[in-house]
Structure 1
Amino acid sequence: MTALSGTGTASSSAGLVEPARTAERPRRIVVVAPLRYPIAEPHAGGLESSVWHQVRVLRSRGHQVLLCAVAGSDHLLGGPAEFSLPAVHWDDPADATDSTYPDGYLDVAVPALHRALDWIRDHADEIDVVENHSLSGHVLSRAGELGVPVVSTLHTPTLPDLLEHHRAGVEPRSAFLAVSEHTAAVWRAEGVEARVLPNAVDTDLWPLGPGGDDLVWTGRIVPEKGPHLAIEAARLAGRRIVLAGRVGDVDYHESMVVPLLGADAEHVGPLRQPELAELVGRSACALVTPCWEEPFGLVIAEALSTGTPVASFATGGVPEVVGSSIGAGLVARDDVAGLAHLAAGLAAEASTTPGFRRRVRADALARFSLHRRAEVVEEVHEALVAGHLTGAGRARALLAPEAVA
């Protein structure tokens, strides 16, 4: 069938090297990605990375998966033309920001998204479930008319557009997953119930690293991620720092980050995953400096997977990701001096304690398995399909105690 030709094989030779675990009931799945950036390497951010891996791991487990995403994304081959959405283009790169869109972009992108949703509705008998990762509320307002169970993953704090569209929709509305208990609680306060399903890491792509002398910071160069504070902390700790990530706010980068760069603080730009993992793995400690209520903190899980310890501000869902790992510690948000002290201690412990990095990685392997997460996703899909067939309702089916292990 041309309509659902997403293959059940992994789309990359890297990662997912463990034997593919075939699902008991292969499903036909449409994954709707966010607008703005392609789902491709180097990943624009943690959300894009999570969606990219979700498609790969589901295909590796035998599911037929189609991706609806902006042009230039991986995994679009074999899908309908309607699933290739317009990408963002800035006439002046200096205007580029992650918080707004270029003039006229939504006038083109939103109708394109509706055409993709029309395709789903018109082919509902060929689809078992829709996974929604979009930050556009239109998927939520139309979930009840698609004729297919919809489950939306909450990757962000509450957004007015998402809440308004969800409330405006008709039953059966979307069911929800949240990437952390913190995120679930924030949405719950607005009347949206969600199952907690943390993000995961392809730990084959984040192997054990040897460590090193430099500190490292990874992520989007935007104010809410606070890379300028990481540079300040590194200088207080007396260590060089390397920053890797895409500039998501040019004004912030030019005014707050560039003036701090020098021989002891280097920004290497966005890196593909193998290069990023190699950089993190040969670092003494990773600094994580969110200046907002971070929903999850994927960079923490990635660093711990390489055995590199993490010093982070305690905000949002970050404490859940840190957990009880011996290789991670927390200080109050904006406590730069405390972060420097913590990073220095973790770096020293990692370099002098035999087996420290291996134990850090072992804990990450146990908590952030991409395949284990996929198993839970499959259980969610089965609950939604069963609820759809019996008329039990999507949210009720998903939130039933037996729905998710």
Structure 2
Amino acid sequence: MRIGIISHLKYPIAEPFAGGLEMHTHMLARRLRQRGHDVMLFASTRSDPDLGLEAICDETALMGVGVDEATDIGFFREHHAYLGLMNRLRRSDFDIIHNNSLNYLPVAMADALPMPMVTTLHTPPFCWLESGIRECRGLTSIFVGVSESIRRAWSAITPVTEVVRNGIDLDRFAYVVEADPDRYLVWCGRIVPEKGLHYAMDAAALVGVPLKIAGPVLDKAYFAKEIAPRMGAGTQYLGHLPHAELAAVIGGASAFLCTPCWEEPYGLVVAEALACGVPVAAFARGAIPEILTPDCGVLATPDDAVALAAATRQALMLDRAACRARAVAACDADGMIDAYEALYARCLGQAAFTALKVVPRSPTSTDSPFSPSRSLFHGQDPELVA
């Protein structure tokens, strides 16, 4: 099957990942290619070329997007990158488009494409994406939520017909039977206000166990105001770690702290911790309660460091094997890809999908993703994907 994946553009789809969306997009493209699909990823420069990359924008030109859309040059560069892509996709021969971006244009222009589009919703509603979705009639579009929480959040704006939870590569977050004898807690993620690192630092201080921190500092003002003053003998900032180093740090921890200050859409860091066998203490926000069960995590009242400290003390007593078992049952990337393949099949019609799987296409030097050949979706009833 020929699959075009539209990415978020602000950060490269490459390690070390800026956040969960970039890691998810990388996983999706890589696993689909491993299953024999012909995948083209439309992303920013410096993304992983092994994913079948076509770079459509330089992410360094977009660093200010969203700050002041009325005057921001980056906003218009992003707009025109997506506009040019969507116009080219109208003349392409992809079988299906998977929109993994946060931009309004792909969804607003989806009905103009000759093939169906699957859009995964990774965030609660916000004005720009909501405006694009309201323009989409849904004739050839399906909206997927990464959690039941996201499905509920978007339900007043558009039908979210599917929930496909994000998955991780369990082999890359290997099970660690015993924590490091020098006991420590761990927090990782983007260091921005909505991730609430300062609450984790306060809770760790209350518990009296050292805290290791990993992740990119994407809000320097927040770091200077809330994080730097809390740094002391009980905390260690490790920087933005490569994947293997991050997995080792997580695996050695006695417990993982998750502190979202917004309605967390999914929580890939929670899945990563569980895969390593590390119990989780987390604020009960968004999709976090969908991932954690009482044998692998403890939920705390949001925005309450004292409650998080109490949850951490309980989490330290949980069984690591139960944590790994939960990750295997609920967070495996293979299950995610199975679900997306089944969804693509329903979009295209089972017969066409089966034929593609049995007789895979062999790329040739003239086999361009933008060649004007007929899409499999041409001539099919739009109600198949409504």
Question: Which TM bucket (shorter chain)?
Answer: 0.7 to 0.9
Partner of 1:272: 242
Residue pairs, 1:60-79, within 5 angstroms: 60-75=34-49, 79=53
Q: Deviations over 1:247-281 (max 9, x none)?
A: 12111111111111122112111112111110000
Name the CA distance, whole Å, in 1 between partners of 2:340 and 2:237. Answer: 36
Q: Is the 8 A contact 1:245 1:269 kept in 2?
A: yes
Which of 3, 11, 17 is the equivalent residue of 1:43?
A: 17
Note the residue ranges of structure 1 that are not aligned, 5 or more in a row.
Answer: 1-26, 91-95, 351-355, 397-405
**How does the TM-score come out when normalised to structure 1?**
0.83
Which of 126, 132, 136 is the equivalent residue of 2:103?
A: 136
Q: Is the 8 A contact 2:199 2:304 kept in 1?
A: no
Partner of 1:167: 134
Name the CA distance, whole Å, in 1 between partners of 2:175 and 2:64. Answer: 34
Partner of 1:290: 260
Query: Which of 1 and 2 has higher RCO (CA within 8 Å, sep 6+)?
Result: 2
- State whether structure 2 residue 381 is matched by structure 1 residue 391: yes
Q: Is the 8 A contact 2:39 2:52 kept in 1?
A: no
- State whether structure 2 residue 162 is matched by structure 1 residue 195: yes
Partner SS for 1:152: strand
Partner SS for 2:36: coil
Residues 154-163 or 338-347, more deviating = 338-347
Residue pairs, 1:3-402, within 5 angstroms: 27-75=1-49, 79-80=53-54, 83-89=55-61, 100=67, 103-123=72-92, 126-170=93-137, 172-209=139-176, 210-212=178-180, 213-322=183-292, 324=293, 326-347=295-316, 349-350=317-318, 356-386=319-349, 388=377, 390-393=380-383, 395-396=385-386
Q: Deviations over 1:133-167 (max 9, x none)?
A: 11100000110111111000000001221221122
Name the CA distance, whole Å, in 2 between partners of 1:253 and 1:246. Answer: 11
Name the CA distance, whole Å, in 1 between partners of 2:28 and 2:233. Answer: 38
Question: CA separation of 1:334/1:363 partners in 2, compared to 1, >3 Å: closer, same or farther?
Answer: same
Name the CA distance, whole Å, in 2 between partners of 1:330 and 1:174. Answer: 36
Note the residue ranges of structure 2 that are not aligned, 5 or more in a row.
Answer: 351-376
Question: CA separation of 1:76/1:274 partners in 2, compared to 1, >3 Å: closer, same or farther?
Answer: closer
Question: Residue type of the partner of 1:157?
Answer: P
Question: CA separation of 1:168/1:345 partners in 2, compared to 1, >3 Å: closer, same or farther?
Answer: closer
Partner SS for 1:390: coil
Residues 98-107 or 28-37, more deviating = 98-107
Partner SS for 2:76: helix
Partner SS for 1:68: strand
Question: Residue type of the partner of 1:137?
Answer: Y
Identity across the alignment (%): 34
Residues 59-68 or 358-367, more deviating = 358-367
Question: Residue type of the partner of 1:180?
Answer: S
Deviation at 1:44, TM superposition (A): 0.4
Residues 59-68 or 338-347, more deviating = 338-347
Q: Is the 8 A contact 1:180 1:197 kept in 2?
A: yes
Q: Is the 8 A contact 1:181 1:196 kept in 2?
A: yes
